[in-house]
């Protein structure tokens, strides 16, 4: 029905409309139906009969395979004719042509709407495809522009390009700016010439990438933090990090990273002055800071409510803190009528005011309300009045009361919970029971109140404040109990671990509005002192992918204050803080070694701060960035020290760190770097040992290939510089390394002379090798001394014996040759069978 009808159908439609206007329309309908049938027959006769296609033949074969006659079936189909009935044209519920035409009109309208929707969807998809194609082209051009500057530098010094999940960089224009084109920094290369290469550094070149957003401010705070640590001064790191986020917006989200830093500022407020060993005092200070933030937040909420309802609150010009609480209650309890503090005989709000004062941190006002209480329930024997208990609770740092007082308060809470009639008479009985449970640290009673009044804690902040107030820092587990002074009972100790375990029962989405406000869960973790879990949440969860940068600096701040709890095996909570900082520091390896050093040293401290850890990280930084001059300076470990001297000011410790780096380089087969670092650390013996082994590995190849002579000369020159650095040492280890190096130089000359056929020169150098006997009486002595040879010299023993035998054979010195062959047979573990056969052949040729 969606297509345009033919002229015949138009004529039929006009006739039908005329029939509707006529009272005798129905008898003519039958004639119209007959006319429709005639039209259908005419159209069917005009339809061309198509020949059978390949598909028809295949269908016929299939029918024949199933036992059916295709020809009869085809004839039946050709003679089949669809004859519409009256019910087909007019449905059963359609009694008139007018209703039928109304249905046709509705069907055409629906079809038009569907076609319009499809056209709109197709147009929208085309538009989105064009937008995505345009954005892709822009991103591709930006990527090519940012990668292009690295093409030349990467060919010289391969390594991973900066960027990645935590990359703080944004592309900078390659030229045309005020600073001109940027060049990649690769540091001062190692000089392989004679002697120790001077690792003098120059000014750093500008990087190809620039920090953006709060990453720039974070980096400045890190530099200040390291500078303060170098001179052992205190530094307000958390306030500085919060200031770095002061101008940042968070889109439509209400919880910003600035709020996270503000929470942490309050939590860490009282920790900086406490020593790390005072764990209980530090925990109490952290709990007090968390409660202080929640109390200030509640005060701000009360002020907002009062400001929104000024007339109803009736706060006045210069209100007191108690006046603010009363104004807040006027608004919140407006449906209860007149309140007791406004009208005598009004609704008793004493317990509501006490609870609000405690919730806002107005402890003196809570004591004031308790003293003016009109009705005080008769306390049990041994219990003091409520006002003195509140004062004792506040003076004790808002910690649950100890001993018998707690037991009596807990008993009173249980009595209030059992007295259902009293709870029905007094509207604020839940607040009364909660105050008693709070003073006693009675968690079981508080949970019973919440079961009866599930809306008592309307927000997670209210819940956290109350739970934090119940925590006893001295409690070590969920089942720790203490007994009062008498036999009045016991109260379960509620520990911080209990609170954290309870919060961990629910997923992050439970606290963050289904994931719409992910930072809310980070706030909950910080307020419950789960610092490592907060870092892990920001660093790993998909919902916080925009806060990877903040996770790194949150970890740095928490480690600086020493509040990170030990890592656990939980994959979601046992985040490796040192590894997290290290991964971020690697982003600066090739663009800004100076900033990379700042983060590398923080990562080393987070990983334990040992010399080995510092050595491992510093080796990676030196080898990857090649910034030896900048990082190490000149003059050795006792000299200027370069940028490293800021972090390791003591020359002896700096020498140990450099030595550890050198050992790491040697273990990683980075021998060039190891030699330079050993020389820098004032350990020429270790450098000479490496050079001796390198010379031992190179002398045979240099004797056969003259083009490798420069390599050997370079090694010898640097070895001579190391020998000179030892001076007139009498240390046996030093003398052994020097002797081995001298023997290797003689071996090199001997092998080179023999390679060019200078047998006389080779025999002269053979005389300098005392470990090879040419006299029969020295045979046994030299054979027993092979085990004490320097490893680098012992590795060349087969080549030395072959060269000596060849020179002796050429000179016809049969007896000396026999001695050399006998010496070779006396040390079978050092001489291969192939070398021994060559020696026998030389001996036979002389005989």
Nearest to 703 by CA among 192, 695, 193: 695
d(CA 308, CA 759): 107
Residues 6+ apart with CB under 8 A from 814: 843, 846, 847
d(CA 42, CA 115): 31
Residues 6+ apart with CB under 8 A from 117: none
- In this prediction, the residues of the chain whose per-residue pLDDT falls under 70 are 1-33, 36, 40, 43-53, 82, 84-95, 144-210, 248-253, 318, 374-384, 423, 474-492, 568-574, 634-641, 847
pLDDT of residue 144: 66
Look-up of token digits 């210069």: 318
Distance of CA 95 to the CA centre of its chain: 73
pLDDT in tens, 216-235: 999 999 999 998 887 878 88
Look-up of token digits 């083009």: 707
Nearest to 468 by CA among 397, 407, 374, 391: 397
d(CA 754, CA 751): 5
pLDDT of residue 646: 80
Output the pTM of the full model. 0.66
d(CA 169, CA 212): 6
d(CA 763, CA 395): 96
Asked if 440 and 447 count as a contact pair (C-beta separation under 8 A), the reply is no
The DSSP string of 637-658 is TTS--TTHHHH---HHHHHHHH
d(CA 780, CA 224): 69
d(CA 813, CA 793): 25
- For the stretch 746-750, contacts whose Cβ atoms lie closer than 8 Å and that sit 24 or more positions apart, written own/partner, are 747/699, 747/793, 747/796, 747/799, 747/800, 748/695, 748/699, 748/702, 748/703, 748/712, 748/716, 750/800, 750/803, 750/804
pLDDT of residue 160: 34
pLDDT of residue 120: 87
pLDDT in tens, 94-110: 567 777 778 888 888 88
Query: Between the CA of residue 592 and those of 5, 172, 414, 457, what are the distances in Å?
Result: 76, 14, 65, 50
Burial string for 145-156 (b: 16+ CB within 10 Å, else e) reads ebeebbeebbee
pLDDT of residue 575: 85
d(CA 664, CA 660): 6
Residues 6+ apart with CB under 8 A from 831: 797, 798, 801, 824, 825
Task: Count other Cβ atoms within 10 Å, centred on residue 745.
Answer: 19
d(CA 551, CA 535): 5
pLDDT in tens, 3-13: 444 455 556 55
pLDDT of residue 744: 92
Tokens standing for 822?
Answer: 């006998």
Pairing of strands 169-171, 481-483: unpaired
Asked if 591 and 185 count as a contact pair (C-beta separation under 8 A), the reply is yes
d(CA 387, CA 373): 9
CA-based end-to-end distance of the chain: 117
State the helix-helix crossing angle for 279-308 and 518-527, rounded to 10 degrees.
130
pLDDT of residue 44: 65
Task: Count other Cβ atoms within 10 Å, centred on residue 831.
Answer: 18
Residues 6+ apart with CB under 8 A from 59: 70
d(CA 501, CA 705): 72
Residue 598 DSSP SS3: helix
Query: Between the CA of residue 7 and those of 11, 103, 556, what are the distances in Å?
Result: 6, 21, 83
């Amino acid at each position: 029905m969606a297509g345009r009808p033919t002229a015949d159908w138009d004529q039929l439609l006009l006739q039908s409309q005329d029939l509707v206007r006529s009272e005798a329309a129905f008898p003519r309908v039958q004639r119209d139906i007959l006319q429709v049938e005639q039209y259908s027959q005419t159209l069917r006769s005009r339809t061309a009969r198509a020949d059978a296609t390949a598909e028809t033949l295949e269908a016929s074969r299939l029918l024949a395979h199933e036992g059916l006659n295709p020809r009869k079936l085809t004839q039946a189909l050709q003679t089949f004719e669809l004859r519409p009935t009256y019910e087909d044209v007019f449905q059963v519920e359609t009694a008139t042509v007018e209703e039928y035409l109304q249905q046709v009109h509705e069907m055409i309208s629906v079809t038009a709407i569907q076609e319009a929707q499809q056209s709109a969807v197709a147009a929208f998809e085309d538009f989105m495809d064009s937008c995505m194609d345009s954005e892709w082209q822009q991103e591709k051009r930006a990527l090519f522009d940012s990668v292009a500057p690295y093409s030349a530098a990467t060919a010289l010094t391969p390594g991973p390009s900066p960027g990645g999940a935590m990359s703080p960089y944004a592309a900078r224009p390659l030229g045309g700016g005020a600073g001109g084109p940027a060049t990649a920094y690769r540091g001062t290369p190692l000089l392989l010439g004679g002697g120790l290469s001077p690792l003098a550094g120059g000014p750093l070149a500008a990087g190809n990438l620039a920090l953006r957003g709060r990453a720039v401010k974070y980096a400045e705070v890190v530099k200040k933090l390291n500078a303060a640590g170098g001179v052992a001064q205190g530094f307000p790191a958390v306030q500085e990090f919060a200031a770095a986020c002061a101008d940042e917006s968070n889109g439509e989200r209400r919880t910003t990273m600035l709020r996270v830093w503000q929470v942490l500022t309050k939590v860490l407020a009282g920790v900086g002055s406490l020593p790390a060993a005072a764990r209980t005092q530090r925990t109490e200070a952290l709990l007090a800071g968390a409660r202080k933030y929640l109390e200030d937040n509640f005060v701000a909420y009360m002020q907002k409510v009062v400001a929104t309802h000024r007339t109803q609150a009736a706060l006045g010009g210069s209100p007191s803190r108690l006046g603010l609480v009363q104004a807040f209650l006027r608004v919140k309890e407006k449906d209860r009528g007149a309140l007791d503090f406004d009208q005598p005989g009004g609704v008793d709000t004493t317990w509501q005011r006490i609870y609000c004062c405690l919730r806002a941190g107005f402890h003196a006002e809570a004591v004031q309300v308790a003293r003016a209480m009109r009705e005080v329930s008769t306390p049990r024997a041994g219990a003091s009045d409520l006002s003195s208990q509140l004062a004792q609770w506040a003076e004790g740092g808002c910690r649950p009361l100890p001993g018998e007082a707690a037991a009596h308060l807990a008993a009173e809470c249980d009595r209030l919970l059992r007295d259902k009639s009293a709870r029905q008479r007094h509207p604020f009985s839940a607040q009364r029971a909660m105050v008693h449970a709070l003073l006693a640290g009675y968690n079981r009673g508080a949970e019973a109140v919440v079961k009866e009044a599930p809306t008592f804690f309307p927000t997670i902040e209210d819940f956290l404040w109350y739970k934090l107030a119940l925590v006893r820092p001295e409690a070590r587990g969920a089942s720790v109990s203490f007994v009062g002074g008498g036999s009045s009972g016991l109260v379960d100790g509620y520990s911080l671990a209990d609170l954290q375990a309870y919060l961990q029962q629910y997923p992050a989405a439970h606290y963050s509005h289904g994931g719409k406000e992910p930072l809310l869960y980070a706030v909950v973790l910080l307020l419950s002192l789960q610092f490592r879990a907060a870092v892990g949440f920001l660093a790993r969860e998909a919902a916080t992918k925009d806060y990877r940068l903040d996770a790194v600096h949150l970890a740095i701040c928490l480690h600086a204050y020493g509040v990170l709890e030990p890592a656990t095996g939980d994959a979601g909570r046992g985040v490796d803080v040192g590894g997290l900082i290290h991964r971020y520091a690697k982003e600066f390896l090739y663009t800004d070694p100076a900033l990379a050093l700042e983060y590398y040293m923080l990562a080393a401290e987070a990983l334990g701060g040992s010399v080995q850890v510092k050595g491992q990280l510093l080796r990676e930084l030196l080898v990857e960035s090649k910034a030896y001059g900048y990082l190490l300076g000149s003059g050795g470990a006792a000299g200027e020290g370069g940028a490293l001297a800021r972090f390791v000011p003591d020359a002896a410790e700096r020498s140990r760190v450099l030595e550890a780096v050198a050992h790491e380089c040697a273990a990683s087969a980075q021998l060039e770097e190891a030699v330079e670092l050993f020389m820098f650390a004032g350990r020429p013996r270790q450098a000479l040992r490496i050079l001796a082994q390198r010379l031992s590995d190179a002398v045979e190849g240099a004797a056969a290939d003259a083009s490798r002579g420069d390599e050997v000369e370079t090694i010898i020159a640097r070895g001579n510089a190391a020998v000179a650095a030892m001076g007139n040492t009498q240390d046996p280890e030093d003398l052994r390394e020097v002797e081995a190096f001298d023997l290797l130089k003689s071996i090199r000359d001997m092998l080179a002379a023999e390679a060019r056929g200078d047998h006389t020169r080779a025999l002269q150098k053979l005389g300098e090798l005392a470990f090879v006997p040419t006299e029969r009486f020295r045979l046994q002595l030299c054979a027993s001394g092979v085990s004490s040879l320097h490893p680098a010299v012992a590795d060349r023993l087969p080549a030395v014996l072959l060269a000596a035998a060849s020179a002796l054979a050429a000179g016809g010195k049969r007896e000396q040759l026999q001695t050399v062959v006998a010496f070779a047979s006396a040390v079978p573990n050092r001489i291969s069978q192939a070398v021994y056969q060559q020696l026998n052949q030389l001996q036979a040729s002389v005989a």
